[in-house]
Structure 1
């Protein structure tokens, strides 16, 4: 019986993602966004439950990926489309498809790289990407012009990028630099100063923003050291 407990928690991830889709189709964007966050919480619990019970399985890993694609790929893509992307015609529809596609590619790459990529995440994890879109839409703010589709496309690309994101599990080998931390804190403070209601969005935005800054800073530092040795 205990073998089904972590799988039930994984399935809860999918259930919550489907509830998000239901709210999106009804035009209730705020609960739709936060049910994606709820799905992320369930997604974070299933692995811990499996390890605690000593019942990790290949079946559970496959089920987890399938549920993640719905909750953090399809659900936020449709949410973004219904909220604002549909106003941009076929381009907005293409951006929504692009987000879901990048989510699928991110999951596939993660599954095949589990033995080679350790101590960090290559690309923005799909739960973070989905929650980033979900909480952004939940704010109810529609940026002017083409800002919204551009942002969604950037969020999508980050999932399939080579940017190294820290895993924060105590065994990461990705160095965290002070300057990106400070810049991220300043940006987060600036957003919260203008809208304290954005606090949940800021959590996911800060992670995405910090990953890019930290990775770029690390690359710049390594190039500078290489140039100094030549």
Structure 2
């Protein structure tokens, strides 16, 4: 009679480990991205960071659905985010476009990586704070979105619009701006705040089909479009934030 409960506990423990296994998968994607940076395959390195960003929210969703949330899971998620969206993009940006002037380029990267670390540390200590009032929103740009913004010049280069390697100073200033956005107090858009009216559901489905089609046929163009759209929304949020501060 003691064997059956033991089997049940073993199977349940494996299920409870699933969110952390997903987190580890993202961590491995970030580490492998750095590996491909070292051999000059910047396209694969960027794609692995994007993959890590896509599954970033999956571990938390699984933990809530399976009632498997834990302190170690939360800490593991932050450590994985720091590697995938702080260290890996920083190394990729440096090797791709900023290594000509080692000192200046590395300074830009250090600023970005340190700001990513500070953002995640701030998130850790405020994890149990009450949710912000008003519409759901993030405070500053989340680390995965920050990584995508930091890689925008690389996406433009892969698409053939520009060659960011010809403008290392502009690239460096851009990632510093992204770094500031990550640690700022600017309220930025959250997917939880997006509500789609029923009459728009067909339009959303068609847009989803277009996104899937572009992902298969024009992957880098899709990333450029999404990045520019998010950057535009973020600029609007920054302008509103400073107008509200001036009015207050």
- Report the TM-score when normalising by structure 2: 0.75
Where does residue 187 of structure 1 map in the other structure?
A: none
Provide structure 2 residue ranges, at least 5 long, that are not aligned to the other structure.
1-13, 158-162, 196-217
Provide structure 1 residue ranges, at least 5 long, that are not aligned to the other structure.
173-194
Give, in whole Å, the separation in 1 of the partners of 2:148 and 2:22.
18
Query: Closer, same or farther in 2 for the Cα pair 1:117/1:99, shift >3 Å?
Result: farther
Q: Tell whether 2:172 aligns with 1:149.
A: yes
Alignment of 1:62-141 (within 5 A): 62-114=75-127, 115-118=129-132, 119-140=136-157, 141=163
Task: Report how many aligned residue pairs link the two structures.
Answer: 203
Query: Closer, same or farther in 2 for the Cα pair 1:127/1:197, shift >3 Å?
Result: closer
What SS does the aligned partner of 2:91 have?
A: helix
Where does residue 68 of structure 2 map in the other structure?
A: 55
Deviating 4+ runs (over 4 angstroms): 221-224
- Report the TM-score when normalising by structure 1: 0.80
Query: Closer, same or farther in 2 for the Cα pair 1:221/1:129, shift >3 Å?
Result: closer
**What per-residue deviation string (whole Å, max 9, x for no partner) do you get for residues 103-132 of structure 1?**
000101112223145322111100111122
Give, in whole Å, the separation in 1 of the partners of 2:154 and 2:88.
12
Give, in whole Å, the separation in 2 of the partners of 1:82 and 1:222.
39
Contact 1:165 1:211 in 2 (8 A): yes
Match of 1:27 among 17, 20, 40: 40
- How far off its partner does 1:206 sit? 2.4
Contact 2:143 2:182 in 1 (8 A): yes
Where does residue 214 of structure 2 map in the other structure?
A: none
